[in-house]
Structure 1
Amino acid sequence: MANTSSAKKATRKIARRTAVNKNRRSRVRTFIRKVEEALAAGDKEAAQAAFTVVQPELMRAASKGVLHRNTASRKVSRLAQRLKTLTA
């Protein structure tokens, strides 16, 4: 348990930051799920629309430090690849 006032403040800051990051991560997962559901249903237009929304959201999460930059790029790349196979 934190004893000093600075340690108590650090604990409060960590709790706030954790809540923000959790919210961002949940938001990204929701957008990814929408793309995957559209791909599974074979709905090309919905998948394309969802992909255009999820791409900047993933990159925003990477820039904010929620995801690693390479992880976000990999997820975008794999979703784009699946979308391309659906349209072909």
Structure 2
Amino acid sequence: MANCKSAQKRIQIAKRNKLQNRYYKSTVRTLTKTFLSNLETYKTSQDSEIKETLNKNLSSIYSLIDKGTKRNVFHKNTAARKKAQLAGYLKSI
């Protein structure tokens, strides 16, 4: 355990940041999984409503990735790679 007050504060700050980072990473993963499942559904049915939900999902994923990059959760190249990969999936259909 830390002996000085400033080290104890840094431990608390690290815990807080860990929770925030986990929120961004897990939410991006969850939204990506729902995006991919909707994409598979759209490949079979070609419904316009599903296409709209795909675009909404993609924009929300982009938003979270960008916010995470701003807060240094994701490296900028990692964020660009994730966004390009998702756009490629949508473009491939």
TM over 0.5: yes
Structure-1 residue corresponding to 2:72: 65
Deviations 1:15-37, CA, capped at 9 Å, x for gaps:
11111111121222222122111
1:79 paired residue number: 86
Unmatched 5+ residue regions in structure 1? Answer: none
- Aligned runs of 1:1-88 on 2, under 5 Å? 1-42=1-42, 43-86=50-93
Runs of 4+ aligned residues of structure 1 deviating over 6 Å after TM superposition are none
TM-score by length of 2: 0.81
Deviation at 1:48, TM superposition (A): 2.1
User: Is the contact between residue 28 and residue 61 of structure 1 (CA under 8 Å) also seen in structure 2?
Assistant: no
Cα RMSD for the two superposed structures? 1.4
CA–CA distance in structure 2, aligned partners of residues 45 and 9 of structure 1 = 46
Q: How many corresponding residue pairs?
A: 86
18-27 or 65-74, which deviates more: 18-27
User: In the aligned structure 2, how far is the partner of 1:59 from the partner of 1:79?
Assistant: 14
**Structure 2: which 5+ residue stretches go unaligned?**
43-49
C-alpha distance after superposition, 1:36-78 (max 9, x if no partner):
1111222433322211221121111111111111111111111
